[in-house]
Structure 1
Amino acid sequence: MKSSAPTIRDVAAAAQVSTATVSKYINGAQRFSPKVEAALDVAIANLGYKSNPLAKSMITGRTNTIGLSVLDITNPHFSSILKGANRVAHDHEFSVLLVDTEETPSRERRTLEELSRRVDGMIVFSRLREKDMGWMADIDKPLVFFGSLNELPIPTVASDDHGGAFMLAQHLRMLGHKRIAYLGFSKSRRDEERLGGIYECLNAAGMELAVFDGEAPSSAEGERMCSSIVLGASRPDAVICYNDLMALGFMKEAANLGLSIPRDLSVVGFDNIPYGKYVSPALTTVDLQSERMGATAMTKLLAVIRGEPVEKLTKVAPQLVLRASTLARS
């Protein structure tokens, strides 16, 4: 018959101390004399004792788990954020509990409130407008939010969407494009920032922008919207898409319609997802440093958990990635 796993009482008996002493030692709640700690280490090693994480969390009130809420885990942008966040968490002996709200704002509050009861802190993406997020500041757990907030007292990490959009528009303008369109996603607060960067660049040059609004930030939506953009009365010679997924769908349908990219029109996106460099033509994009954003947010949240002061907003600088989906106009 297999013997039962050693218990805290077995460790106490072997080290000739109380169970309370063992509990405080393994949970890091108190230090003891070198002699007592050495006896505890020997007893734990000889017995092969392993602490119960659930029992430890009940004693300390800590789970060593961080909640990460993303909008769509099938989007490689969020997968990269998870990768960066998880790396930092692992280095600090924390685990990451992931939830996916599937681009559905109506389920965010319930999901986050339930998640908060199982973790020591949370990193949150949200499609909600700031005026509808007051309840989030009342969650009794440390939070870090992805994106800019004007009023809520929550530390944030944001990409410079305005600056990245300006760079894309400037690149297209320098290539000689005159009729630029934007395929956006107005349900996202980041859409407004991207539009602002594009407008700042084009207004300075006296250029207009044709704006189209998608229903989802997906490749299927980029594919669906393509015909209404390129078969209209005034076809653009360049299209800026809200993200790379929309751009890839748009490019696929444009080819189906008989257009050549970039000969007939240039196409660009945001995020620098891995797929973008393997399509033909490879996609020009803005790298918003997704993995670095995840790592930065996790580092910031762990500092908040430790009670350390952090800056309200941390911005991650974007980088323009030039590939073959853009071409100079003669």
Structure 2
Amino acid sequence: MIDVARLAGVSQQTVSRVVNGHSNVGSDVRDRVEHAIAQLRYNRNAAARALATNRSMNLGVLSYSLPVHGSTMVLFGVAEEARRNGYATSLVSISAVDSGSIRAALDTLVADSVDGIIVLAPMSAAEPVLNGLDLDVPIVRFEQGSPGSSHAVSMDDALGARLATRHLLDLGHESVWHVAGPPGWMASDARRAGWLAELSAQHRTVNPEFMTVDWTVDSGYAAGLAIAENPAVTAVLAANDSMALGVMKALTERGLAVPGDVSVVGFDDMSEARYFQPGLTTIRLDFNEVGRVAVDRLLQLMGGEPAESIPAITPELIVRASTAAPR
């Protein structure tokens, strides 16, 4: 730290403030310190810092269903923000969302002496279990579509579904059909609610949903085969981009054009969405921001700071070539 301070032309206290993420450092000074850190390849001594702060410098993460796009991206955001603040992360995954599995996973993390825990299990069944827990470490949860709270990071999935549905109706489609997300997920419920709310607000017909068992391309493909058999369908909102890809594949195989015969909108804006053929109109969700906000709030709780309600992260409609006016 002495070497970094000397190279940057600042005090050791200033270097300490920069590496600990304090905001009361000017941007030019911060840049000089970070450049000196990179040039000298300075690394903080984790053991020494843990002794000085009486912390393990380790954050626990409990996650369910890592293969799902949103969970993976949030986990990446958590790990990056934790690392930026000098923390390591310990991951425990669960294969079922029930009281026993959640309790056992949290006990494992607490036994590892983590300083706080982030729970990435946005399932309806997890909420009552987590609400009934009393742990010695603070917890921040990721809950899609839920109202904002001081201990949960949320995304306004319902608004995203309304934006997607409104886009299709504004193009001139009489109604919008929905390929629903699998049951039990907060995202499925919120996206369905937004779709229904927009159809109701515009006094449009609500048609039966195409149900799925998971978030995969296979589920979307199965729904797409059913959609292809119904000539009344001209516009579809799929509950995520993977299912939208499956829908588009099935429609193409059945001789239907996207968007010439059926317009398709996805959800999440996964990195591959723009490379679909045609490029997928979708709802962009900033999962990295979820991870950043979750870590920041957890550090606030660990520091005893007052925690106000966290505003839901706002979605964005991304219009590409998979939607058009009906013929």
The TM tier, using the shorter chain, reads 0.7 to 0.9
- Per-residue deviation at 1:319? 0.8
Pairing partner for 1:209 from 206, 209, 217: 206
Q: Indicate the residue corresponding to 1:244 in structure 2.
A: 241
Q: Indicate the residue corresponding to 2:3 in structure 1.
A: none
Q: Indicate the residue corresponding to 1:73 in structure 2.
A: 66
Map 1:125-136 → 2, pairs under 5 A: 125-126=120-121, 127-129=123-125, 132-134=128-130
Q: Indicate the residue corresponding to 2:162 in structure 1.
A: 166
Pairing partner for 1:112 from 98, 106, 117: 106
Is structure 2 residue 254 aligned with structure 1 residue 257?
yes
> SS state of the match for residue 257, structure 2?
coil
Q: Give the Cα separation in 2 of the matches to 1:159 and 1:245.
A: 19
Kept in 1: contact 2:154–2:311 (CA 8 A)? yes
- Per-residue deviation at 1:167? 0.5
Q: Indicate the residue corresponding to 2:176 in structure 1.
A: 180
Larger Rg: 1
- Per-residue deviation at 1:251? 1.7
Kept in 1: contact 2:146–2:154 (CA 8 A)? no
- Per-residue deviation at 1:68? 2.3
Distance verdict in 2 for CA 1:150–1:84, change over 3 Å: closer
Identity of matched residues, %: 29
TM-score normalized by the length of structure 1: 0.75
Using the TM superposition, name which of 282-291 and 59-68 deviates more. 59-68
Using the TM superposition, name which of 310-319 and 78-87 deviates more. 78-87
Pairs aligned (count):
277
TM-score normalized by the length of structure 2: 0.76
- Per-residue deviation at 1:52? 8.0
Q: Which amino acid aligns with 2:217?
A: S
RMSD: 2.7
Distance verdict in 2 for CA 1:307–1:168, change over 3 Å: same
Distance verdict in 2 for CA 1:90–1:199, change over 3 Å: same
Structure 2: tracts of 5 or more residues without a match: 1-43
> SS state of the match for residue 247, structure 1?
helix
Structure 1: tracts of 5 or more residues without a match: 1-49
- Per-residue deviation at 1:320? 0.7
Q: Give the Cα separation in 2 of the matches to 1:128 and 1:112.
A: 18
Q: Which contiguous aligned blocks of 4+ residues in structure 1 show a shift greater than 4 angstroms? A: 50-53, 55-61, 148-151
Kept in 2: contact 1:272–1:288 (CA 8 A)? yes
Q: Give the Cα separation in 2 of the matches to 1:312 and 1:137.
A: 20
Q: Indicate the residue corresponding to 2:229 in structure 1.
A: 231
Q: Indicate the residue corresponding to 2:283 in structure 1.
A: 286
